[in-house]
Structure 1
Amino acid sequence: MKRSALFVSMVLLLVLLVGIAGAQDTTIRYFTFSAAPDHLEDLDTIIAAFQEAHPDIAIEVETAPFADYFTLLQAGVASGDAPDVFELNYENFVTYAANGTLMDLSGMVSDDAPFYPRALEAFSYDGQQMALPETFSTVLLFYNADLFDAAGVDYPTAEWTWDDATAAAEAISALGDDTWGLFSPVQFWEFYKKAAQNGECEFLNEDATESLINSPACVETLEWMVNVMNSGLMPTAAQLSGVSDSELFLSGKLGMIVTGIWMFGAFEEANFAWDVQLEPMMNQHAHHFFANGVAVSSSTGNAEAAAAWAEFLTSSEVAASVRVESAWELPALDQPEYFESYLALTPPANRAAVFQALESPVTPPVIVRQNEMQDAVNALITRVVDGELTAQEALDMAKEEIDGLLN
């Protein structure tokens, strides 16, 4: 009897030990730039919830600052030591999708996953779902309501055109020599968005084999941007004297600024009333759609577990709630109830504009050699701003450079 009892006890102990050993028998390496340093505890909360549903999967977190992230990621891919799951911003997505680094997630994600359709589409490549949208941000028109009141100008509306905005900027600029009506950067990211507002300017042809950046509509768009900058409504770099555009807005000396929703927190300290509105139109609305996605390595040995983590991280209610409550970007999900607490925060009062902007999203034009294209176009735009080149000359040169990168 004692020997039988001992045998049963040993069997139970062995079962227990096997259970413990097998409780997390799959480890997924996850590489992130957005979690560190401020949101590692928030990520731990999401991981804990994931492991309640998947006790056999452990998540091993690796982080790097954004400045180093893609260098380290590329080194890992090249050496055959890529993480199982990793973040990608949209601008770098095509590079990794095109070179076979990413696993196709088509059919591995729930059909009812509540992503914004446009966000999900942004991370598809050649008809395959090569990453899942994680978060998004956009750019709006921020305005100083006190300066509008002082100038006797009505506040911006969702139907404003850029003619309306520049007229308001003229009235605000007239308040004093140290007061400016508007600031909207003249650079690659603003250029492709303003080009989309024009409606007739495309940077690339449909199959991205040729640049169209020197078309008449694109030249017209860049000329307009530079003319506004030179109109006296915007401070020049020399007039800013090292003060950033956001610092100028916070000082109460700038009527309107085109900038990202990531500035909401920084502008809370303003000692004047301010709000946001959709960006003015040229011929149509167009708003930046900046997005991060989560991809699975094509070399992972744990495809199902990796895909499960990618889906949970990007679309679960827990992950969405943690992101919204901790101000860790906004989940790219079409679930209005997830954002009720976010919309209730003030300022700004018109946070609904963040989601209205999703009705006219513009993603960056992307090619495999993305960073080289961005740098080339930015350098040429700077030469237009400095008066060294006309818009036509700069965009003719940009077409040559981009076509060279495409071929």
Structure 2
Amino acid sequence: MVKQSGILLLIAAMAVISACGSNNGNDSNGNSSSTNASTNGSSDASANESQEPAKDPVTIKYLTYTANGGQENTLKSMVEAFEAKNPDVKVDYEVVPYADYDTKLTTLISGGQAPDVYELGYENFRKYAGKDLLLDLTPIISADSSFDPSTYKKLAYDAFNYNGKQMGVTESFSDVVLFYNKDLFDAKGVKYPDASWTWKEELDAAQKLADPANGVWGTYSPFQFYEFYKTIAQNGGGVFDASGNPTINSQANIDAVQWMIDKAEKYKVSPAMNDDTFSQPDADLNAFMSGKIAMARFGIWNFSRFKDAKFKWDIALEPGNTQKAHHFFADGIVASKDTKQAEAVWKFMKYFTSDADSVNKRIAAGWSVPAVADDAVLDAYYKQAPPESKKVVIDALDSLVLPPVGPKPEKWGELQAAVTEQLDKAKFGKISVKEALDNAQKSVADLLSK
């Protein structure tokens, strides 16, 4: 009996131990609890997933020059706002003075340490894209259902397209428009310029507004290379054709340059070409500020210069002959071809160039003008007067003219010098306009053949 009892006790103990190890799917009441266990296990797994520590944010390096000299705090604020909206991305940025920027960037790229994202002016963009240094954003953009290119003014967005590939995005821009002295117009009863004006209407108004006895000129534009390529575009001309062949001595270009000279030498509505006064730095700006020029083509960066003028003034689109054409000086943001953080870089590029928060910070700080298309987003900019017609600045983007860097962007400086040399000869009457442009055509063709 004792032996039998011992066996029974051992069996009982083993059963208890077994029960402690597992309830075999039964609850304390002997009911099946397999569903409950499964639910608890799933719940625990979900909890573990949701409580997994967040991945460390990726860091992208950004090199910039436009913030230098007064907008460093604006940049800092924009970066902080971006990081708040995108906690998975950190931005390590460096501000470099413009004079040192190209050297700094070239050194980094040569050393295999290119920043993930960086600024480039349009002319340098063409050079860097031609050297295959930039990331093709086209696949990323195509996959981004939240992105709409129409957020930007179309021609401004297309400016950073290279050979059919979107290689950057316009960050900000400046352009040139027609400034006019409303008081001088009112005194002569002349209608203000509007978008319908051509060179003919400009000349008609200038002849009425010019007052030689009081030293007042009807209209003014500088005579130099940048004005040349914009003015010939207003007459349907250009420096290159669609295939990249120089067309400098086309008849449209000859007529346009003659018009530039005739305003001074034939119609006497502009200062004489040999007027040393207007060859001095800021002489034209000072003359307008003094009420001595009725109309002038100036860059929008001069708005602040004229804010305290003692007369009323405003801006309008520039008159063209066969079409409108306006300068477009753009800074864009591009990505390094070697970046390992393409998605993060694209988030940053979108925010920095078009997000309403970013745009508002730029406008409030008076930093630069983004090339966005939404008037509601730009409303704060439009309200910063003078000038009253601030929207003209954005409207000019519909007829922008890109710097004609041509098929060899690295020769841009030499191209300018070659054309300028001949324009100066025509300006002072040493040779005819046709001879000057024939010479320039040959010089540029020779330059591109090397």
Which moved further from structure 2: 113-122 or 211-220?
113-122
CA contact (8 A) 1:92 1:370 kept: no
Matched, 1:405 2:437: no
Residue 403 (structure 1) shift: 2.1
Which moved further from structure 2: 95-104 or 50-59?
50-59
- Structure 1 residue corresponding to 2:63, chosen from 31, 34, 37: 31
CA distance in 2, matches of 1:70, 1:235: 38
Task: Provide the residue aligned with 2:256 in structure 1.
Answer: 221
Task: Provide the residue aligned with 1:234 in structure 2.
Answer: 270
Residue 241 (structure 1) shift: 6.7
Task: Provide the residue aligned with 2:233 in structure 1.
Answer: 196
CA contact (8 A) 2:156 2:397 kept: no
CA distance in 2, matches of 1:372, 1:76: 26
CA contact (8 A) 2:117 2:333 kept: yes
Matched, 1:252 2:288: no
TM-score, normalised to structure 1, is 0.88
Matched, 1:384 2:423: no
Distance 1:358 1:43, change over 3 A: same
List alignment gaps of at least 5 residues for structure 1.
Answer: 1-17
Matches within 5 A, 1:132-281: 132-174=169-211, 176-199=213-236, 201-208=237-244, 210-231=245-266, 232-236=268-272, 237-240=275-278, 242=280, 243-281=282-320
How many residues end up aligned between the 2 structures?
386
CA contact (8 A) 1:136 1:330 kept: yes
Matched, 1:100 2:136: no
Distance 1:175 1:394, change over 3 A: closer
Distance 1:315 1:230, change over 3 A: same
CA contact (8 A) 2:155 2:398 kept: no
CA distance in 1, matches of 2:213, 2:105: 50
List alignment gaps of at least 5 residues for structure 2.
Answer: 1-51
Q: Which runs of 4+ in 1 moved over 4 A?
A: none
Task: Provide the residue aligned with 2:91 in structure 1.
Answer: 59
CA contact (8 A) 2:371 2:394 kept: no
Report the 3-state secondary structure (helix = DSSP H, G, I; strand = E; otherwise coil) of the residue aligned with 2:413.
helix
CA contact (8 A) 1:287 1:357 kept: yes
Matched, 1:130 2:167: yes
Distance 1:92 1:328, change over 3 A: same
- Structure 2 residue corresponding to 1:329, chosen from 368, 379, 383: 368
Distance 1:389 1:168, change over 3 A: same
Distance 1:230 1:19, change over 3 A: farther
- Structure 1 residue corresponding to 2:330, chosen from 291, 295, 310: 291
Matched, 1:68 2:106: no
Which moved further from structure 2: 85-94 or 380-389?
380-389
TM-score, normalised to structure 2, is 0.80
Which AA in structure 2 matches 1:104? Answer: D
CA distance in 2, matches of 1:337, 1:207: 39
Distance 1:197 1:240, change over 3 A: closer
Aligned-pair identity in percent equals: 38
Which AA in structure 2 matches 1:398? Answer: A
